[in-house]
Amino acid sequence: MTAAGRRVLIGRIVGLYGVQGWLKVESWTEPRTQIFKYQPWQLSSAPGQETEIEGVKGQPQGKGLVAKLPRVDDRDAAAALVGQDIYVAREQLPPPGKDEYYWVDLEGLEVVTTEGVALGRVSHLFATGANDVVVVRDGERERLVPFVRGVYVRSVDLSGGRMVVDWDPEF
């Protein structure tokens, strides 16, 4: 799948704020207030259960962020949205910098070793304290490869759909 049509997880609704329908929001954008510039939001409580919301307003509040969604005017209506993930279309995000990648752009890439041994495809990535980790699946196995450029990740070719890694196929 190309970047077109993909969604990117940028945050989550984590709680209620007040009685007039305001929500506490966790943002994974940099800076965190950038989440309000990406519109429309696609809220999702489960796969296939998405709602598109345009016109979200928000602001920093204490150590967090709060948001006001159109037509959500009381605490009960807001409570129904707590726990929902916030997605935006991949096309809404700015282009990544040189040697930077959005995780969603890496998902689905074929992963091969420097010797040409196929390891599978990128399923997803996750962050650790030290570095990000690429989860590679081939149907039989799952491999966790640290996303450290120049050490384990030797090259990424988005247009060719391939990532080359220096990794022992038996590990």
More confident residue, 30 or 4: 30
β-bridge pairing 110-113 and 153-157: unpaired
Residue 87's nearest CA partner among 123, 129, 56, 124 is 56
Please give the model's pTM, rounded to 2 decimal places.
0.78
pLDDT of residue 2: 47
7-91 CATH fold: Elongation Factor Tu (Ef-tu); domain 3 (2.40.30)
Q: Please, which pLDDT band fits residue 99 given cuts at 50, 70 and 90?
A: confident
Rounded to whole angstroms, how far apart are CA atoms 16 and 82?
7
pLDDT of residue 3: 52
Of the candidate CATH numbers 2.30.30.240, 3.90.79.10, 1.10.150.120, 2.60.40.420, the domain formed by 103-165 belongs to 2.30.30.240
**Exposed, middle or buried, 110 (CB in 10 Å: 0-12/13-18/19+)?**
middle
